[in-house]
Structure 1
């Protein structure tokens, strides 16, 4: 492109003066093409212009640069390394991580193939999970999982550890005034730096990267995906925003001074950033999760413009249960790995004559093997102990719909849970406050 424009510019000089305007236009095009070429050659930089907050705590340009790193083990099927992160309490820090990709996990020489990449973020009480990286490498992904408690492979502190995952550092530290000494600041920065490190590896396709996290890692996924525009897809598991409405975490926030609580919600709650998220979001949770209850969960996913919801009935809460659902792989395979497999999907829900009608997307209607309607009117129990009912719903293949009479007692919350012949589930969003006419 640049060479062609230069050649054209040189030859147009012999044309009469009426071509001067054309020469100026071509000169501008040359400059634009050269700038575009230069930008293409630069490292992938986060574009933060879409994040419309009055004060952005993280330096996203700096976090876009690959951190210094060194291998601790560069020969195993799942390798380990240390990389530098942001300062904590005025001291430099380093983060331990595991890494692998399909070539490494198979024990073969590098094939020069470009792989989709995933950043894996553990939850409270977690660590860098070797088996999580191994799982995704075997599925065709390059994956990095870091420790966000300052620990290494053996559970001991690294030489320059970051903050621990204590409630004091997560919440009470904000009372001391320095926002950058709160755990969330450091954890978000470390996760974004892991992405920058991943993007520096030659085997990574920079146009096919995603992030997923479990519990507190799901909370971080909401933040990281909102801040880091380089991600294409994100799957927060359990975690959501509106921590001041959580059955569990609101206690920590209510213990803060009113000013500190307000600052925490402004700078560290995902609700402040999710409206600006760029990646395709896959929100997956249970209906009875202890830490991330239905009310704030609905408010959280409603902030995202580009999303899919998956509600697993009675889904247990743990790291293993959080990375186990086949729906997460189905999502990333479609979004990143060039292997789209349609979910059982719905396009609309209507309520008429005391009946709910779910309209299936055409590709999904033939896939539905079972459909159930879950609903609850329990408004006195906490989310973990809320009583739910469920009944079979009617699948109408001719009209590509699922129909269900509204229960006589109505419902406070409800959702449809669908499965295809392979056992992969798809769900509607949560429905609220349904009544009979």
Structure 2
């Protein structure tokens, strides 16, 4: 029978007593310990309002209220002959019923040791992509790409439903939290991590995740919820959509349930892994202010690439070699990723110092006062202007005079291995 203990402090004679309480028999025993102590209040258990002792802790997130998500799912193989597989695995509970998630899973043709793995999270209107999984298998990873809309790849509904009306998703009622697409999508991602953990060929300590657009959004939640991940690549997606995004500009309603339990900003502070964030500097859906504030919430190493004309979609990130290089740096013993040691504005100069030599650098700035809300180039000129700048003698530091009328500015750099990275964007104090 489990007993619960409360520490009782006697201030006068400076002793403390452990009172061991058995909730069923109401019997107690006392152990007296002589300790020089003043006033300490220590509770090893929480006493509920009813007077009963309870050791129940509040879940870290809605997904932790269903701990089965973090264990190996049931799997039904569609194509069980490798190295390229297809399968259904068990997802979350939707409207009181079990769901199944369709996925493609690929591994390298020859594996002699345990290998790293990647969870590949599609964006809006997407599906499971076998070519994406095969691409990462070609890099030396086990990779899973799943359909987050509750469908198989023939379009048949096999799991939960995705609301057609986006507003219905943002305006989630508390009672519908666990049936919302946001919850179910992340549940399916967590279960994909659990699937990878169950595979004998996978190194459990080297599981990464990559998400594009809405997949980047869902990845932003997952990195703060699932501690089994070791690295992440987030393309376009971010949190704080209720502060600034295409949906706020369109007048969508964001419920308090969404803001407090579903938006990535609630969970990003828990993320301690290295994350590579990529975005277009004029992205229509996930603007730079929400993107940057989301990045700054994390506790782990944080890397950014703000790319001019980095078109929103799948093809561009699929062809971005830096994404593989970043994953290799943290999951496959690749070359160390370049780190920006410091960056900011000093007087009228934008400056940055990097731990590796810079091959090329550009100051990127805009003169448009409403640049945050412009996602297309204006006729006759660009919203953002690039100016090539030089490094100092060490090759590891850059500084450049900020144009007088610039309202936002950042530095974009490339090292000798063609890896590209960016500083935060900055707004000069006199132009805020």
Same fold (TM over 0.5): yes
CA–CA separation in structure 2 for the residues paired with 1:422 and 1:400: 14
Q: Are 2:233 and 1:235 aligned?
A: yes
CA–CA separation in structure 2 for the residues paired with 1:204 and 1:385: 43
Q: Are 2:211 and 1:220 aligned?
A: no
Shift of 1:219: 0.4
Structure 2 gap ranges (5+): 1-56, 378-382
- CA, structure 1 residues 99+405, in 2 after alignment: closer, same or farther (shift >3 Å)? same
State how many pairs are aligned.
368
Contact 1:293 1:383 in 2 (8 A): no
Q: Are 2:313 and 1:318 aligned?
A: yes
Match of 1:193 among 191, 194, 204: 191
Matched residue SS, 1:404? strand
Contact 2:411 2:422 in 1 (8 A): yes
Matched residue SS, 2:403? coil
CA–CA separation in structure 2 for the residues paired with 1:54 and 1:233: 20
Contact 2:317 2:323 in 1 (8 A): no
Shift of 1:353: 4.8
Contact 2:303 2:421 in 1 (8 A): no
Cα offsets for 1:316-368 (capped at 9, x unmatched) = 0002223321111111101111122433x42112544522232221xx12xx2
2:386 is matched with which residue? Answer: 390
Structure 1 gap ranges (5+): 1-50
Cα offsets for 1:72-122 (capped at 9, x unmatched) = 00125421000111121222211000001113xxxx5xx441000110100
1:140 is matched with which residue? Answer: 140
Contact 1:375 1:414 in 2 (8 A): yes
- CA, structure 1 residues 54+395, in 2 after alignment: closer, same or farther (shift >3 Å)? closer
TM-score (normalizing by structure 1): 0.79
CA–CA separation in structure 2 for the residues paired with 1:239 and 1:305: 18
- CA, structure 1 residues 342+397, in 2 after alignment: closer, same or farther (shift >3 Å)? farther
Contact 1:169 1:181 in 2 (8 A): no
Contact 1:223 1:273 in 2 (8 A): yes
Q: Are 2:360 and 1:370 aligned?
A: yes
TM-score (normalizing by structure 2): 0.79
The RMSD of aligned alpha carbons is 2.3
Match of 2:75 among 69, 75, 92: 69
Larger RCO (alpha carbons 8 Å, 6+ apart):
1
CA–CA separation in structure 1 for the residues paired with 2:305 and 2:205: 25
Shift of 1:172: 5.9
CA–CA separation in structure 2 for the residues paired with 1:83 and 1:75: 16
Contact 1:173 1:181 in 2 (8 A): no
Shift of 1:171: 1.4
Kindly indicate which of the two structures has a greater share of residues assigned to strand: 2
- CA, structure 1 residues 177+331, in 2 after alignment: closer, same or farther (shift >3 Å)? same
Kindly indicate which of the two structures has a greater share of residues assigned to helix: 1
Contact 2:245 2:290 in 1 (8 A): no
Contact 1:214 1:323 in 2 (8 A): no
Contact 1:406 1:435 in 2 (8 A): no
